[in-house]
Amino acid sequence: MIDVGSLVRSPRNDLGVGKVVEVSRTDAVVEYFCSVKNRFRKTVPLGLLQEARLQRQTRCYLWSTTQERWIIGRVYDWDEDKLEYEIDLPDSQSLQAVETELYVRCNIPIADPIDILAVKGQETPYFHDRRLAFVQSAIEQRAVSRGMTGLISANIDLYPHQVEVVRRVLEDPIVRYLLADEPGLGKTVEAGTILRQFLLDEPNGRAVVLVPKYLLEQWRQELENKFYLSHFADRVQLVAVSDINQISRNANLDFLIVDEAHDVAAMAHSSDRAQQQCFELCQKLAQKSKNVLLLSATPVLGREQDFLTMLHLLDPTTYRIDDLESFKEQVQNRQEIGRALLNFRENAKPAVLQTTLAQLRTIFAKDDYLIGLATELESCLKTKKTAEQPRLVRTIRTHVSDTYRLHRRILRNRRDAVEDVIFDRDAVPKTEYDLNDEQWSEIQTVLDQWRTVAPKSSEYQRIFLLFFRASGTWLSVLERVVKARLQKKSTPELDREFGQNDTAILTKTALFPEEREILETLLNTLEKPQEGLDRLSLLRIAILRFLAVALKVPREYHSNPRDLLSRIQQQIKRPIPGERFPKIVIFTSFTATCKEIAENLAKIFGKNAIASHDTSKSADDVEASLKRFKTQPHCFILVCDRSAEVGVNLQLTDWLIHFDLPWFPNQLEQRLGRVDRIGSKMGVQFCLFAGPDLPESPHEAWFQVLKDGFNIFNKSIASLQFYAEEKILKLEEKLFAEGGKGLSSEIEAIKTEIEQEKIKIDEQYVLDEIDTLDDSASQYFESLDNCDAKHKEMQRATEGWLCQALHFKQIEHPSISGLLRYQPTQKTLIPSNDLRTRLIPYCQQYGSYNRRIAHQNADVALYRIGEGLIDALGSYIRWDDRGQAFAMWRHDESWDAEPGKEWFGFQFNYSIQTDVQPAEQVLQAQNIENYNLKALQRRADALFLPCFETVFVDARSERMSLVEDAELLAILQRAYKGKGGPNRDYNLSKNRTSLLDSFVDPLEWDDFCQKGRVVSEELLRGRSAFVEMCDRSAVTAAIQLENRVNQLQLRLNRLSKSEQLLESVLADEINTESLLSDAVLAGIRRPHMTLESVGFIVISGRPPVKSEDEG
């Protein structure tokens, strides 16, 4: 029964336990106890109240009438018969108390630790020091990450270019960006990190991630393994673009991510109504969502319409889909700027820099900031002060890029600019030639005859291309193509291999005179038994030889293929402990070939050794096969058709085999991109089965075109995709007209055209590129990298509180070194309710403080702020009053032992950060709603890093003062030493609390503590070193904030006629940014201080007691 004095809780609020102080017929007034001096009341319907039974270890407060003070104890047990609690007290005693005598703190954290000390509710310094270490570690991590907890806690390797993208987005209050990194540089990781931060920032926020169907599983795995998607319940909906109708049009949506956004943009102009509707729904989602990330590596040149449509999704007011001509004009105008910047590099010759500076002065005559930098650089060039030259060049490039890019929220990294994190492509394959020369000679002769006599029309040209492609792989594919041509009938399998349009041309185009005879001759050649080894046999031998070296098979087995095979089969069946089979990936463009290879190799090495990825399999089967290859040591061969050329990461590959080469260079680029990406192994080997070693072989010529013309095995051609698409039409004509000789004749032209195309692309890209060597970017990454190196210190700080103070147990992983988790025990000093709701959910998963170890293992937490356990512990520590206040007697033999000669005073520990309240007041005054305050705080953290300051206050006189004496500070700053030896410390709680009365009258203690609190903050704010730190940060911040406003102003000044709609938007943003800049600077000059903990310290040359009892 609920009555006055009852302890209750309501499921309708999160306030926790309260005490009933009034009861009426329908309602009750509940008092919530925040601290002794801070309580508030709420009226709650009786029907919504539940009686609260206090769990063991619950902290509780009682008023002692005999001692006339508050006593703090812990619930030990409940006596059902007597309806009394047994309460453990700090001095190893206990008492019985009824419910009405007990007060329990509600869920609101303590506002100020001084209130605990003021009621003499302090705990041992042992608790304080361990809590303080954890709090300091959390503040240091926040400073290092600049509040980007989603980044620092993501289970990813940190790369400078990715970190810089994330930083720029998360410090921007408007998160509507196009992430345009070139393929393989980690756009998915960047987007996943930003998404994780959003989910941490917005506990109720919802997100939709739209991806192509073939990338769905990859995204699901990345989001789970690296960003712990499952920790956020059902707040993220991962949907294939083709299934976009699954998304409710009425759903609340806060964040939209679209991968391969150029494909979605292209749907806007499709003739297919279903695709148009798909785009229209995506457009509505983008308009509805406050935050939008589009991912696309598509260059603007050649795809202006799609690029404009993507920008429309980000900013529909400024970029209208129907304004293509104006947009093309903007793109063209960028060429001039890009051309000027192209050679403006740190290592450029002085003459080149001088010429470029003259061009920049002309283009940007009204940009005073740039003109000033140009003057400074010119002075350096004249005086030959080379030390400052690289910095000034970088600063000018960054300024021009950030101010005049096509859209200021396009972020692009290029492979050439991040060479330190991705290996130079070295994928030129070792070639293996087919040995059945007689058969190949006949095939090549017959195909050349067909090509020579066939009518010179586009249909026959396309049919010859099909013959060429089919002859470059397992020859049964060519046989099927020839039969389909002769029978004028395709099959579903051929339709899938070549596409229905091409098979329709193959089967419906009339046979020319002599064609049947030629093709029947070819068919006879293909069907008759052949001498020599075919390509499948060569593949088996090549794999055996590779395995022999990798597995260190004794050389006596190498000369006999039968003995070698037997030995390797034996090692597969009975593996040697610690032995590692190399991971071999075989690519072919054809599903039929893929199946044949897989079946063939399974007969030799066993089914368990072979995995396959082909279009005939279901998505689940493909995923299971991939997982087996990646995780099982003795599944070492993966056979793939073209379905694995997109959306599959194969960084673990040791040897990649091209069983055949695709006709389309962009397809080969995607194939190579499976292994040529961030995180891939060094020393991956490549092999190509190049067909016959015959004069004028068209397959050899095609290989040379790809190798020497496109240079695709040494350099990514991802940015040249449109050039490659156009050039392939010319190559198809050449192949049909002149065979292999025609292909070879184009190599020099391709080289020249690519160089010209690259210049055009570079001129466009140079404005959108991110400079990760910029001082701000490099300093930020360096601080993150240094933080990771301190993982052992983070572990000590966390376990000091979690294990040593609260008595959790560390559990090491049974088989993986460096992985651990934490488990409560019978001694754990947290009530079971709090354990169950706050901490237990994060105690089942293993984790690591070492980023490298965490990243090497799936389903592993990285223990940083932002991770579930660390954040839960941080939240609980803010509520838990233990460790927030202490009092101790420090015995120091160097001090005067005479009674009355003791030193006494306070230790105040403050966390310091920019005061963002002035900025929030600006937003209110401007009636700006929904401004991203978390982004504002992150920007403030970057301008003034959160820090920790300790102040010792001498309280021996009426006028309290700052302790500055070095000898006294050395004594005060010593670590707590609770037992044994000289110069030990004594805890002034428990039964020693009365010792405080010797220094401060008990009736004045509260006021004494409150005065110390006020004085300490005044003394800290007036300390010269602190003032200098704030002033120095404000000067640096003022420059950065002014640059930001200036860039916006310059962008406004250079708006073209087509961008006039942006004028008012930019003007409003400039006004807001100017006001916010002033407010943020005010918050830096007078930062916000939070008292994290407080202690009262006595220093004496004598101990307070004679016995050597515990400190």
Query: What confidence tens digit (pLDDT) does each residue in 630-687 have?
Result: 988 889 999 999 999 987 889 899 999 999 999 999 999 999 988 987 766 778 999 9
Q: Cα(832)–Cα(840) distance, rounded to whole angstroms?
A: 10
Residue 1110 pLDDT > 60: no
Per DSSP, 673 falls in state T
Cα Rg for the chain, rounded, in angstroms? 36
Residue 178 vs residues 89, 670, 672, 983: alpha-carbon distances, Å: 60, 21, 25, 62
Burial class of residue 747 in the structure, from the number of CB atoms within 10 Å of its CB (0-12 exposed, 13-18 middle, 19+ buried) = middle
Residue 342 in tokens = 């192209």
* Pairing relationship of beta strands 637-640 and 27-35 according to DSSP bridges: unpaired
Question: What superfamily in CATH does domain 535-760 come from?
Answer: P-loop containing nucleotide triphosphate hydrolases (3.40.50.300)
**Is 49:10 a contact under the CB 8 Å cutoff?**
yes
**Is 829:883 a contact under the CB 8 Å cutoff?**
no
The mean per-residue pLDDT over the stretch 1093-1102 comes to: 97
Residue 94 pLDDT > 80: yes
Instruction: Look at residues 804, 1106, 1091 and name the one whose alpha carbon lies nearest to residue 976.
Output: 804
Instruction: Look at residues 888, 893, 850 and name the one whose alpha carbon lies nearest to residue 993.
Output: 888
Q: Say what the pTM is.
A: 0.87
Instruction: Look at residues 1012, 1015, 774, 999 and name the one whose alpha carbon lies nearest to residue 888.
Output: 999
Choices 3.40.50.300, 1.10.1130.10, 3.40.50.12500, 2.30.30.140: CATH for 7-108: 2.30.30.140
Residues 1016-1069 have pLDDT tens digits of 999 999 999 999 999 999 999 999 999 888 888 877 877 765 566 667 778 888
Residue 564 vs residues 551, 610, 634, 814, 970: alpha-carbon distances, Å: 11, 19, 18, 37, 73
Question: Residue 1111 contacts by C-beta under 8 Å, 6 or more apart in sequence?
Answer: 124, 125, 126, 888, 976, 977, 978, 979, 984, 985, 986, 987
The pLDDT value recorded for residue 1061 is 62
* Pairing relationship of beta strands 69-79 and 59-64 according to DSSP bridges: antiparallel
Q: State the pLDDT confidence band at 520, using cuts at 50, 70 and 90.
A: very high
Q: Cα(5)–Cα(1062) distance, rounded to whole angstroms?
A: 63
Q: Cα(532)–Cα(479) distance, rounded to whole angstroms?
A: 19
Whole-number average pLDDT of the chain: 91
Q: Cα(901)–Cα(439) distance, rounded to whole angstroms?
A: 107
Residues 463-512 have pLDDT tens digits of 999 999 999 999 999 999 999 999 999 999 999 999 999 999 999 999 99
More confident of the two residues 732 and 318:
732
Q: Cα(415)–Cα(422) distance, rounded to whole angstroms?
A: 8
Residues 821-866 have pLDDT tens digits of 999 999 999 998 889 988 999 999 999 999 999 998 888 999 999 9
Residue 462 in tokens = 């396309």
Burial class of residue 1035 in the structure, from the number of CB atoms within 10 Å of its CB (0-12 exposed, 13-18 middle, 19+ buried) = exposed
Instruction: Look at residues 77, 126, 72 and name the one whose alpha carbon lies nearest to residue 104.
Output: 72
Largest separation between any pair of C-alpha atoms in the chain: 123
Q: Cα(983)–Cα(1101) distance, rounded to whole angstroms?
A: 9
Angle at 819 between CA 817 and CA 824, to 5 degrees: 130
Q: How many alpha carbons fall within 13 Å on the CB side of residue 691?
A: 25
Residues 325-376 have pLDDT tens digits of 888 887 777 777 778 787 788 888 888 899 889 988 888 888 888 899 999 9
Residue 155 vs residues 341, 391, 721, 853, 942: alpha-carbon distances, Å: 37, 33, 32, 10, 23
**Is 946:145 a contact under the CB 8 Å cutoff?**
no
Q: Cα(159)–Cα(151) distance, rounded to whole angstroms?
A: 11
What are residue 843's phi and psi, to 5 degrees? -100, 0
Burial class of residue 393 in the structure, from the number of CB atoms within 10 Å of its CB (0-12 exposed, 13-18 middle, 19+ buried) = buried
Residue 899 in tokens = 């009674």
Residue 89 pLDDT > 60: yes
Q: State the pLDDT confidence band at 1107, using cuts at 50, 70 and 90.
A: low
**Is 227:193 a contact under the CB 8 Å cutoff?**
yes
Question: Cα 363 vs. chain centroid, distance in angstroms?
Answer: 38
Q: Cα(555)–Cα(861) distance, rounded to whole angstroms?
A: 45
**What is the CB neighbour count within 10 angstroms for residue 678?**
19
Residue 1093 in tokens = 């903990």
The pLDDT value recorded for residue 348 is 83
Residue 640 in tokens = 């793939």
The pLDDT value recorded for residue 462 is 97
Question: In percent, how much of the chain has pLDDT > 70?
Answer: 97
Name which of 61-70, 757-766, 1074-1083 the model is least confident about.
757-766
Q: State the pLDDT confidence band at 532, using cuts at 50, 70 and 90.
A: low
Q: Could you give the strand order of the β-sheet that contains 861-862, starting from the edge strand earlier in sequence? A: 808-812, 820-824, 847-848, 861-862
The pLDDT value recorded for residue 1111 is 60
Find residue 23's DSSP bridge partners: 28
* Pairing relationship of beta strands 903-913 and 947-954 according to DSSP bridges: antiparallel
Hey, where are the domains in the chain?
A: 7-108, 323-406, 436-527, 535-760, 790-863, 885-1100
Residue 1102 in tokens = 């004598």
Residues 196-245 have pLDDT tens digits of 999 999 999 999 999 998 889 889 989 999 999 999 988 999 999 999 99
Highest mean pLDDT among 166-180, 418-432, 532-546, 584-598: 584-598
Name which of 166-180, 405-419, 733-747, 1087-1101 the model is least confident about.
405-419
H/E segment holding residue 992: none
Residue 145 pLDDT > 60: yes
The one-letter amino acid at 44: V
The pLDDT value recorded for residue 440 is 87
The pLDDT value recorded for residue 44 is 95
Q: Cα(1078)–Cα(1083) distance, rounded to whole angstroms?
A: 9
The mean per-residue pLDDT over the stretch 18-38 comes to: 94
Residues 606-638 have pLDDT tens digits of 999 999 999 998 888 998 999 999 988 889 999
Instruction: Look at residues 74, 84, 66 and name the one whose alpha carbon lies nearest to residue 121.
Output: 74
DSSP calls for 169-226: HHT-S--EEEE-PPTTS-HHHHHHHHHHHHHHH-TT--EEEEE-GGGHHHHHHHHHHH
Q: State the pLDDT confidence band at 914, using cuts at 50, 70 and 90.
A: very high
The pLDDT value recorded for residue 438 is 82
Q: Cα(619)–Cα(214) distance, rounded to whole angstroms?
A: 9
Q: Cα(781)–Cα(157) distance, rounded to whole angstroms?
A: 12
**Is 112:121 a contact under the CB 8 Å cutoff?**
no
| Strand intervals (E) in 749-813 | 808-812
The mean per-residue pLDDT over the stretch 760-764 comes to: 77
More confident of the two residues 1027 and 250:
1027
The pLDDT value recorded for residue 573 is 86
**Is 181:813 a contact under the CB 8 Å cutoff?**
no
